[in-house]
Amino acid sequence: MPFVNIRILKGHSQQRKDEIARRVTEAVSEVAELPKEAVWVVFEDVTAPDWYVGGTTVEKPAS
């Protein structure tokens, strides 16, 4: 049973998450030749102060 854990910046709409989950489920199901019901997708919302890119939080603009 594939388990897909997606970390995403907090604030994305439920509609966007639904679409991402639908597409990921479809792709994994197709490639792994498994029923969609066997694919689990979980979102973890991360706040901007806790998300770093290049050593700087995404909350702060790059200098």
Structure tokens of 43?
A: 């979102």
Active site residue 2: yes
CA 36 to chain centroid, in Å, comes to: 17
Task: Work out the angle at residue 57's Cα, subtended by the Cα atoms of residues 54 and 62, and round it to the nearest 5 degrees.
Answer: 65
Structure tokens of 13?
A: 């709409």
Catalytic residue positions, numbered: 2
